[in-house]
């Protein structure tokens, strides 16, 4: 049986310190496949391009010319990769476990369009990477009792926090987007990633659209990867964007009244946490209440406009 053709699609933005670790993990992580590295660089101003030239001289590097956001980088990388059997969408701060890609690819079929691995953080702790579709009951449960407690319930939790559910393969509505193998058929059915989100919720949107197209997202625990993780939880600008994009995604998929109730739950959630002194929640609350910020196009200028 011939080995599958895989494009490893990485989006970089000032990622120089991460490049060597990523590159070092690829040969073992991609074992059993015919893989090629395609990097979309979103106008890095550090040594990212030099590090890529040093450690991955055979990689296809697309210089986008501007910070297009994650979805824009993903689209650029997939376009440059051309026809493949599947596309591994990968953050620069991910380190693949041995045989990860082959394990994921083995699960792609007529029903499964996206496969995701078991993720651990830099300390080796399990990352709660599986997600359920956003609903009113889930967003209100998060606001009132917290995501960790709500996540133990199928009806109330968006983030799946029951560790026992990570032991076996299972379908999930969507998943944390740092490491995901997408079949060529899924790319054909779902088209391009929505660049209007810039950062956050673009993977939610894409996975839910895959479900709309009749393809599932499958969590595959025998495939493993380490995600060093970003700083959205500590950056007011990134947390604000994450929060407002959650409301935006829900509003695009539902009628006006449920969308307003979803927004209200986020206002209460971030307001209660801002009252406890969280700068991230204060920034999110300000933007949730600002009509001007809702209308403003997401991008570097949007992030620069966050007030804390």
pLDDT, tens only, 84-127: 999 999 999 999 999 999 999 999 999 999 999 999 998 899 99
Q: Take residue 61 and report the two structure tokens written for it.
A: 């590097």
What is the reported pLDDT for 68? 95
Q: Record the pTM.
A: 0.94
What is the reported pLDDT for 267? 98
CA distance 241 to 303: 7
What is the reported pLDDT for 233? 63
What is the reported pLDDT for 251? 97
Measured in Å, how far apart are the chain's first and last C-alpha atoms?
A: 56
Strands 216-227, 94-96: pairing is: antiparallel
What is the reported pLDDT for 1? 62
Whether the CB-CB separation of 190 and 214 falls below 8 Å is answered with no
CA distance 284 to 16: 29
Q: Take residue 202 and report the two structure tokens written for it.
A: 């673009």
Q: How many CB atoms lie within 10 A of CB 1?
A: 3
Strands 174-175, 179-183: pairing is: unpaired
Instruction: Give pLDDT tens digits for 121-151.
Output: 988 999 999 999 999 999 999 999 998 898 8
CB burial of residue 188 (10 Å; 0-12, 13-18, 19+):
exposed
pLDDT < 50: residue spans in the chain: none
Element (H, E) at 4: none
Whether the CB-CB separation of 283 and 306 falls below 8 Å is answered with yes
Q: Which CATH number applies to 5-227: 3.90.550.10, 3.40.50.850, 1.20.120.420, 3.10.450.50?
A: 3.90.550.10
Q: Take residue 57 and report the two structure tokens written for it.
A: 């001289």
Q: Where are the domains of the chain?
A: 5-227, 236-304
Strands 86-91, 170-172: pairing is: unpaired
Residue 292 backbone class (left: φ over 0; alpha: ψ -120 to 50; beta: rest)? alpha
Strands (E) located in 150-289: 170-172, 174-175, 179-183, 216-227
């Amino acid at each position: 049986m011939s080995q599958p053709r895989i494009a490893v699609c990485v989006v970089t933005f000032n990622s120089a310190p991460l490049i060597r670790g990523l590159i070092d993990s690829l040969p073992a992580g991609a074992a059993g496949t015919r893989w090629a590295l395609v990097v979309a660089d979103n106008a890095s101003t550090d040594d990212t391009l030099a590090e890529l030239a040093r450690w991955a001289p055979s990689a296809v590097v697309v210089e986008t010319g501007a910070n297009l956001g994650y979805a824009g980088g993903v689209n650029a990388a997939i376009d440059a990769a051309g026809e493949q059997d599947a596309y591994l969408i990968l953050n620069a701060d991910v380190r693949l476990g041995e045989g990860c890609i082959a394990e994921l690819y083995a699960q792609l079929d007529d029903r499964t369009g996206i496969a995701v691995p078991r993720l651990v953080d830099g300390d080796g702790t399990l990352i709660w990477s599986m997600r359920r579709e956003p609903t009113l009951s889930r967003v209100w449960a998060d606001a009132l009792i917290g995501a960790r407690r709500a996540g133990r319930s199928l009806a109330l939790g968006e983030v799946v926090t029951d560790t026992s559910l990570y032991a076996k393969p299972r379908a999930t509505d969507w998943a944390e987007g740092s490491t995901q193998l997408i079949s060529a058929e899924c790319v054909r059915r779902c088209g391009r990633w929505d660049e209007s989100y810039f950062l956050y919720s673009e993977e939610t949107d894409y996975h839910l659209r895959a479900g709309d197209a009749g393809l599932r997202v499958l969590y595959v625990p025998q495939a493993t990867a380490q995600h060093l993780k970003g700083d959205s939880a500590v950056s007011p600008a990134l947390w604000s964007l994450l929060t407002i994009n959650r409301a935006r995604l829900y509003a695009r998929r539902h009628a006006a009244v449920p969308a307003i109730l979803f927004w209200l739950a986020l206002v209460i959630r971030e307001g209660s946490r801002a009252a406890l002194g969280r700068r991230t929640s204060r920034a999110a609350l300000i933007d949730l209440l600002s009509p001007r910020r809702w209308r403003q196009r997401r991008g570097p200028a949007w992030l620069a406009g966050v007030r804390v």
